[in-house]
């Protein structure tokens, strides 16, 4: 019988050079946010210890660069990082580049044409008839709708697909300001590329993609924004975001699980996008999860920061390497972003 389920069969992660959070604060951001009296407390409470930066502000201050200059730098930095992540995912899946039927790219931090979708397919030797999809400017939750799109392709076409999430948030360092919400954003965000391979048939250790769910609260549309300005892309963050999430995450996730006769107690692995420590607290409270359930999300936040759309795959891969979810058991991956939008994927280990 032909399977009607797509399967995650390979992961690949690539990151630029690592930078220490305390060093970033002491040697750059303390001066950059000298007008924001609470900025030091914000950086310390972020729980981020290390981040990755394609453009390190300790070496190169791009805060006054035009958006055009930042996009030129994106075009230089992003393709090799993306190719590295995709090559690793293909190797993990045991799939050759010429066997890929669809290559999808999610990114909200840079745009260029010919874009990453063309550059990476060419660099890795994917066939000239490979289909391509670009998912732009959705923000931190883009990995989940991207996963849904490639899974639908895999089921319909019976061909393998690759999804690459690549974010270079370091390119969008904003000018010095006394704005505390900018201190919050700059204390959290980081760079990374994460790629996954999705195939019609499972391989050993694969994750079946069971279902995708989404919820958008238009009343919170102004709580999280990502606006294109003349000086890069500017993040807007409201302190009300965790409260909105805590109100919606419980009903949304229990509804997703109920469609399959499950409850949160049946979930063996929680891959929650670590938007920040308060976000993780809101999710934990909203779902009544024990602290241990979000340990990998907290670890990824500490060691990588918030890498926007790539982050949830970093958490899911860390869980997979730790043997979760166990064979036959379920996992939930979820992420949040502008809208205010929540997305979640239900997976099952084969």
Give pLDDT tens digits for 165-206.
999 999 999 999 998 999 999 999 999 999 999 999 999 899
Any domain includes 254: yes
List CB contacts of 270: < 8 A, sequence separation 6 or more: 289, 293, 294, 297, 331, 332, 334
Claim to verify: residue 63 and residue 180 sit in the same structural domain = yes
Are 332 and 274 spatial neighbours (Cβ–Cβ below 8 Å)?
A: no
pTM, two decimals, is 0.97
pLDDT at 29 over 70: yes
Q: Given 199, 234, 267, which residue is the final one in a domain? A: 199
- Total domains in the fold of the chain: 2
pLDDT at position 3: 58
Any domain includes 55: yes
pLDDT at position 269: 98
Query: In this structure, which long-range contacts are made by residues 181-184, counting pairs with CB atoms below 8 Å and at least 24 apart in sequence?
Result: 181/235, 181/236, 181/237, 181/238, 182/33, 182/36, 182/234, 182/235, 183/29, 183/33, 183/36, 183/38, 183/39, 183/42, 183/43, 184/42, 184/46, 184/237, 184/276
Claim to verify: residue 18 and residue 92 sit in the same structural domain = yes
Any domain includes 1: no
Claim to verify: residue 190 and residue 211 sit in the same structural domain = no
Claim to verify: residue 190 and residue 219 sit in the same structural domain = no
Please tell me what DSSP assigns to residue 274.
Answer: -
Per residue in 32-43, pLDDT tens?
Answer: 999 998 999 999
Diameter of the chain by CA atoms?
65
For position 239, which CATH number holds? 3.40.47.10
Neighbours of 72 (CB within 10 A): 14
Sign of CA dihedral 18, 23, 28, 30: positive
Neighbours of 3 (CB within 10 A): 14
Claim to verify: residue 245 and residue 341 sit in the same structural domain = yes
Are 124 and 79 spatial neighbours (Cβ–Cβ below 8 Å)?
A: no
As a whole number, mean pLDDT of residues 220-229 equals 93
Residues labelled as active-site residues? 140
Claim to verify: residue 38 and residue 159 sit in the same structural domain = yes
Q: Encoding tokens for residue 294? A: 């979000």
Residue span of the structural domain in which 275 resides: 207-349
As a whole number, mean pLDDT of residues 101-113 equals 97
Claim to verify: residue 35 and residue 163 sit in the same structural domain = yes
pLDDT at position 298: 98
Any domain includes 317: yes
How, if at all, do strands 191-199 and 6-14 pair?
A: antiparallel
Q: Which residues pair with 8 in a beta bridge?
A: 198, 207
Claim to verify: residue 29 and residue 175 sit in the same structural domain = yes
Per residue in 61-100, pLDDT tens?
Answer: 999 999 999 999 999 999 999 999 999 999 999 999 999 9
Claim to verify: residue 170 and residue 46 sit in the same structural domain = yes
Per residue in 285-323, pLDDT tens?
Answer: 999 999 999 999 999 999 999 999 999 999 999 999 999
Any domain includes 305: yes
SS (H, E, C) 126-138: CCCCCEEEEEECC
Q: Given 145, 171, 199, which residue is the final one in a domain? A: 199
Any domain includes 111: yes
Any domain includes 150: yes
Any domain includes 17: yes
Claim to verify: residue 190 and residue 215 sit in the same structural domain = no
Claim to verify: residue 180 and residue 266 sit in the same structural domain = no
Claim to verify: residue 91 and residue 167 sit in the same structural domain = yes
Residue 282: name the closest of 241, 251, 310 by CA: 241
Are 193 and 14 spatial neighbours (Cβ–Cβ below 8 Å)?
A: yes
DSSP string, 66-91: -HHHHHHHHHHHHHHHHHHHHHHHHH
**Surface-to-core class of residue 166, CB atoms within 10 Å of its CB (0-12 exposed, 13-18 middle, 19+ buried):** buried
pLDDT at position 1: 37
Are 300 and 321 spatial neighbours (Cβ–Cβ below 8 Å)?
A: no
Mean pLDDT of all residues belonging to the chain: 96
Q: Which residues pair with 227 in a beta bridge?
A: 234
Q: Given 181, 199, 217, which residue is the final one in a domain? A: 199
């Amino acid at each position: 019988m032909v399977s009607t389920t797509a399967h995650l069969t390979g992961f690949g992660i690539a990151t630029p050079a690592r930078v220490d959070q305390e060093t970033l604060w002491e040697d750059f951001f303390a001066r950059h946010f000298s007008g924001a009296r609470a900025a030091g407390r914000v950086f310390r409470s972020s729980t981020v210890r290390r981040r990755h930066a394609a453009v390190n502000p300790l070496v190169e201050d791009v805060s006054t660069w035009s958006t055009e200059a930042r996009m030129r730098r994106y075009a230089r930095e992003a393709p090799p990082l993306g190719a590295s992540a995709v090559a690793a995912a293909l190797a993990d899946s045991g799939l050759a580049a010429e066997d890929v039927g669809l290559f999808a790219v999610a990114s909200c931090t840079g745009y260029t044409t010919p874009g990453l979708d063309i550059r990476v397919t060419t660099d890795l030797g994917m066939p000239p008839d490979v289909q391509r999809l670009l998912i732009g400017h959705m923000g931190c939750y883009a990995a989940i709708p991207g996963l849904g799109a490639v899974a639908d392709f895999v089921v319909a076409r019976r061909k393998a697909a690759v999804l690459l999430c690549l974010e270079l948030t370091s390119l969008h360092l904003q000018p010095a300001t006394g704005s505390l919400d900018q201190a919050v954003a700059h204390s959290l965000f980081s760079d990374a590329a994460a790629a996954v391979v999705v195939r019609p048939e499972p391989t050993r250790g694969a994750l079946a993609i069971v279902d995708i769910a989404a919820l958008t609260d238009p009343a919170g549309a102004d709580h999280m924004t990502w606006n294109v300005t003349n000086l890069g892309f500017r993040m807007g963050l409201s302190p009300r975001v965790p409260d909105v999430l805590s109100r919606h995450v419980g009903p949304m996730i229990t509804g997703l699980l109920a469609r399959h006769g499950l409850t949160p107690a049946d979930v063996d692995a929680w891959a929650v996008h670590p938007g920040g420590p308060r976000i993780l607290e809101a999710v934990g409270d909203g779902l009544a999860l024990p602290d241990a359930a979000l340990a990998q999300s907290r670890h990824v936040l500490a060691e990588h920061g918030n890498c926007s759309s790539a982050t949830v795959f970093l958490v899911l891969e860390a869980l997979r390497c730790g043997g979760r979810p166990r064979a036959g058991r379920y996992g939930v991956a979820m992420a949040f972003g502008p809208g205010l939008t929540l997305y979640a994927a239900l997976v099952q280990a084969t």
